[in-house]
Structure 1
Amino acid sequence: MRHPNSHFREQVSFGLVGNLKAQLQELHRSKLRRTADENVIGEMTRLECVVMLAKIDLASR
């Protein structure tokens, strides 16, 4: 015979597992966003360097 609280414990366990899975998915999405943000920042920095070099080149002519 099952313990009367075993069904409740199973439901709590399933809830915890679902919550952990959701947190893991959100962590993955936030890492993807962070990577995308880092890529954009890197590209902006590169373009700023190109503009700076072009200004220096124009000033030296």
Structure 2
Amino acid sequence: MATYPPRECGIATFTKDLITAMDKKFSPSIKSKILVMNNKNDINYENIEEVLFDIADNDISA
């Protein structure tokens, strides 16, 4: 669970770099998937293959 590009922040960049490295090392036996914290709920992650879900970080029911 993390932020993820296209969000512009250091954690998003780190997460992208980390899953890219993990997938490269362990492919095809492991394929990373991400649960994205979408703090403004303003980014559409539907077409990003590695994103399983995005949740609004201000939604306490999530």
**TM-score, reference length from structure 1:** 0.30
**Radius of gyration: which is bigger?**
1
**TM-score, reference length from structure 2:** 0.30
Structure scoring higher RCO (CA < 8 A, sep ≥ 6) equals: 2
The structure where strand makes up a greater share of residues is: 2
